[in-house]
Amino acid sequence: MEYRIEHDSMGEVQVPADRYWAAQTQRSHENFPIGVGIETMPREITHAFGILKKAASIANHALRPEKMTDEKLEAIGRACDEVISGALNDHFPLVVWQTGSGTQSNMNANEVIANRGNEIAGKKLLHPNDDINMSQSSNDTFPTAMHIAAVSAIEDQVFPAIDTLVGTFRRLEEENEGIVKSGRTHLQDATPITFSQEISGWRSSLERDRQLLELSLPPLKELALGGTAVGTGLNAPKGFDEKVAEAVSGLTGKTFKTAPNKFHALTSKDEIVFAHGALKALAADLMKIANDVRWLASGPRDGLGEIFIPENEPGSSIMPGKVNPTQCEALTMVAVQVMGNDTAVGMAASQGNFELNVFMPVCIYNFLQSARLLAQAMLSFNNNCAVGIKANREKMEHNLHNSLMLVTALNPYIGYENAAKTAKKAFKENISLKQACVELGFLTSERFDEVFHPEQMV
């Protein structure tokens, strides 16, 4: 491999000749061999840095045209566009497990954009610190990248996946309207419910989770940029914070604004914690939905067997013909991961000491993993399971009429205690509710038929 010599304030460093990064990135690459090639800084953060560095150059050009010239603005903009597109991903090698402020990832962006910008300009035009990092600090750029990435993940990945699954459940509600089945509470027989009502609970849970995520977005759309090192805005021109937020909004098509208190924005990660709490709520509901589906599909002969789900692959290496609810299992494992991530996000956010949080990379790594996994798992569950759910009407009807909790319909006519005696007698002697009720003398056969209508109990 060929190398070139780069330098920083600590001296000279050898850097691979075919890479745009420079000395500080190389030092980090060598000093933190932790999870290399596996736990790389999320590409959503790389993308967000491209956006914020371009936005910063636009704001600086408006406020400091003598320093951020037209020529520099053009070169930076073109280099940032390549970062945003992902074309330069190979030039961002740093791992999550680095400095807790994300300083080295900020410098990685500064160095790559400067060197690529110089290549575009055909001369030594840009300096990583003086030009690309103008009016900024790692301490306000990394939290800004976190918020840009988090908002994009929720709006561009999670929301479309929720909407897709909600649409499938809405269709299933319409297709299964009027099918009455046994309800269940505590995993025990309960009073009847329609299958469409059961599905509506799944749909409504996802719609509420979407609403909760929407509530988390306004705080996430406040940006720390402009606070520089400790929140005072040292070395940033007046109005830079507002102009850079406007520029980020223009580049993303999302409405960002500057954080009103930069001291809070640098040290507190409460917005990320709140938003991830909504992701955890979504995970909890998805766990419930996936468990419902696999319980209802259990069998095929010795389980509930009230629904059919798609058979996607063999389920056993030893039991021929076995098929398992694998999409449900994948979705529930993702839910477990998200719940674990929530602990990491909360712990990381608690580590704001004085003017800066120094657990930011691990905080956003877990957040973005949760959003990405949830979005992908919902789409997989939808496309490979939910769209193919079909009611086993015969089994639903059998289970409904075999349920002892239909006795609840008799409460107004024979009272709670007599109804309980009827249910217990029917269960103990393995006879019907009607036979038990008549033998106990609570109702005649004719009167029982008049008042006992399970289909009307929903």
Catalytic residues: 186, 316
Q: State the CB neighbour count (10 A cutoff) for residue 81.
A: 15
The label of the residue with tokens 């070395």 reads 235
Handedness of CA 155, 157, 159, 160 (dihedral sign): positive
DSSP state of 96: S
Cα separation of 405 and 229, whole Å?
66
Helix (H) or strand (E) holding 185, with range, is strand 180-185
Largest Cα span, the chain: 101
Q: Residue 324's closest CA among 332, 316, 315?
A: 315
Cα separation of 64 and 54, whole Å?
15
Concatenate the DSSP letters of all residues of 27-64 into one string. HHHHH--SSTTTSBPPHHHHHHHHHHHHHHHHHHHHH-
Task: State which amino acid sits at residue 353.
Answer: N
Cα separation of 64 and 70, whole Å?
11
Torsion of CA 328, 329, 332, 334, to 10 degrees: -110
- Determine contact, residues 246/54, Cβ cutoff 8 Å: no
Helix axes 103-121, 23-31, angle to 10 degrees: 140
Q: State the CB neighbour count (10 A cutoff) for residue 413.
A: 16
Q: Which residues of 38-60 are buried (b: 16+ CB within 10 A; e: fewer)?
A: eebbbebbbbbbbbbbbbbbbbb
Cα separation of 12 and 15, whole Å?
10
Cα separation of 416 and 413, whole Å?
9
- Determine contact, residues 116/70, Cβ cutoff 8 Å: no
- Determine contact, residues 217/147, Cβ cutoff 8 Å: no
Q: Residue 414's closest CA among 439, 392, 441, 387?
A: 441
